[in-house]
Amino acid sequence: MKRVLMIAFHFPPLAGSSGVQRTLRFVQHLPSFGWQPLVLTAMPGAYERTSDDLLRDVPDGVIVRRALALDAARQLSVRGRYLGVLARPDRWMTWQYDARRVGAAMIRDFAPQAIWSTYPLPTAHLIATRLHARFRVPWVADFRDPMAQPGYPADPRTWAQFKDIEQHALATAAASVFTTPGAAAEYRRRYPPAAGRVQLIENGYDEESFGDSGAEAARLGPLRPGALTLLHSGIVYPSERDPTCLFDALGRCKRDGRIDAPRLRVRFRASVHDDLLRTLAARFNVADLVEIEPPIDYREALVEMQRADGLLLLQASNCNEQIPAKLYEYLRARRPVLVLSDSVGDTAQAAAAAGITRQARLDDSADIATLLSSFVADPARGAGWRATEAAIDSASRRGRARQLAVLLDSV
């Protein structure tokens, strides 16, 4: 069996990020397609929050080696302040030093036929760059989303490092992979000489993770019997998933009498930015409509999704070339989905292609209020609210792993 060295910061026991799922599910499924994964990741102390629930999904016998990484904000700061150089290109840039040593030992010990590194931590690509240059093993750079964008990162020096990393990767990697059609198209346009090496492998859901969660959800029943609960499961980014207009819409609907606390609640699970949500709830006088809940284990979260009356997906227009990985789990949950996004962006387009056409703009309070009212007034919530079975079937992580294996074979 061929071997691939997989360099990924986001790996169990890291908790609180859906980004961990991409690498974990590739590790699970790649052996079925002839590739043995060798994982190079960070020591658990680098993670802000950990949980053991996903560790059991790492297959027995998979080689996982961890390198020292320090979080500049938590472990290298004095009175909450730290040197900017320690956070470029990201707060865990220290990971690269020990990871080069550990990665070199893994290459000598196991002789992998390919290296794969994955964003959203740019440092992962820096590690792969050095190992590729030293050992000349073909490299696949998994970008997921665009890196250097207009206005992001805001710090000019960090932006310049992002740009240097992506330029080098597009020039030297055997393939560069993105998770959305828009991002792939943008990088083909941005780097014409590398256009033929830009590939698309979307995110997806893992059927094995869902397991018997559907039966458990059915046994437990709705989150609030006799009333409606809308659930947003995961991080609410203040800019990229700005919920301000959603709260404004809730306030409008409450004032108009279209919704009230006995009929509808909006639950935010593991938002990270709880204080922002509380501030908005107070500002728009909708605290009685909003529930802010702490993180739970991944499988509990999947059960909760399937018990909700509807699932909220937020994506701002500044992320039009990105699709939240959460969308694919929402599809598999087979619940109504309310998409709040830009109609021309990849998120809205992917949801519509899956059959979810009842959408509103995230930056349009009136549009969101209309969608919320329609949701409450439509007891069936069938076509237009839910994904088609064909779309669900096509979005499995196993299928995505097959695509990656084919790509690895080609390089």
Digit-coded pLDDT (tens) for 189-217? 999 999 999 999 999 999 989 999 999 99
Best CA proximity match to 94, nearest among 65, 121, 117, 133: 121
Instruction: Give the HSE-up count for residue 277: Cα atoms under 13 Å, Cβ half-sphere.
Output: 22
User: DSSP readout, 336-396?
Assistant: -EEEES-TTSHHHHHHHHTT---EE-TT-HHHHHHHHHHHHH-SS--TTTS--HHHHHTTB
Q: Which amino acid, 234?
A: G
Hey, what are 240's tokens? 């990229």
- Residue pLDDT, tens place only, 274-324: 999 999 999 999 999 999 999 999 999 999 999 999 999 999 999 999 999
Hey, what are 24's tokens? 């974990």
Q: Which residues contact 184 (CB under 8 A, 6 or more apart)?
A: 178, 198, 199, 200
Give φ, ψ of 297 to 5 degrees.
-60, 155
Give Rg (Cα) of the chain.
22
Q: What pLDDT is stored for residue 84 in this prediction?
A: 85
Going by the DSSP 8-state scheme, the letter that residue 325 receives in this structure is: T
Lowest mean pLDDT among 80-84, 170-174, 335-339, 357-361: 80-84
Q: What pLDDT is stored for residue 77 in this prediction?
A: 86
Q: What pLDDT is stored for residue 184 in this prediction?
A: 96
User: For residues 15 and 52, what is the distance between their CA atoms, to the nearest angstrom?
Assistant: 9
The string over 326-343, giving b where at least 16 C-beta atoms fall within 10 Å of a residue's C-beta and e elsewhere, is bbbbbbbbebbbbbbbbe
- Residue pLDDT, tens place only, 243-267: 999 999 999 999 999 999 999 999 9
User: For residues 121 and 315, what is the distance between their CA atoms, to the nearest angstrom?
Assistant: 20
- Residue pLDDT, tens place only, 95-136: 999 999 999 999 999 999 999 999 999 999 999 999 999 999
Q: What pLDDT is stored for residue 308 in this prediction?
A: 98
pLDDT at 16 > cutoff 90 = no
Give φ, ψ of 138 to 5 degrees.
-55, 140
Which residues on neighbouring strands pair with residue 144, listed in sequence order?
178
User: For residues 395 and 206, what is the distance between their CA atoms, to the nearest angstrom?
Assistant: 9
Say if residue 89 is preceded by a cis peptide, omega within 30 of 0.
yes
Percent of the chain as helix, strand, coil, to the nearest 5:
45, 20, 35
User: For residues 167 and 173, what is the distance between their CA atoms, to the nearest angstrom?
Assistant: 10
Q: Number of H helices and number of E strands within the chain?
A: 16, 13
Which residues on neighbouring strands pair with residue 262, listed in sequence order?
none
User: For residues 22 and 268, what is the distance between their CA atoms, to the nearest angstrom?
Assistant: 23
Are 343 and 256 contacting, i.e. CB atoms less than 8 angstroms apart?
Answer: no
| Percentage, residues of the chain above pLDDT 90 | 93
Hey, what are 275's tokens? 């204080």
The mean predicted confidence, pLDDT, of the chain is 96
Assign 201 to helix, strand or coil: coil
pLDDT at 19 > cutoff 90 = no
Indicate the pLDDT class of residue 18, thresholds 50, 70 and 90: confident
Helices 156-172/122-135 angle, 10° precision:
40
Q: What pLDDT is stored for residue 67 in this prediction?
A: 98
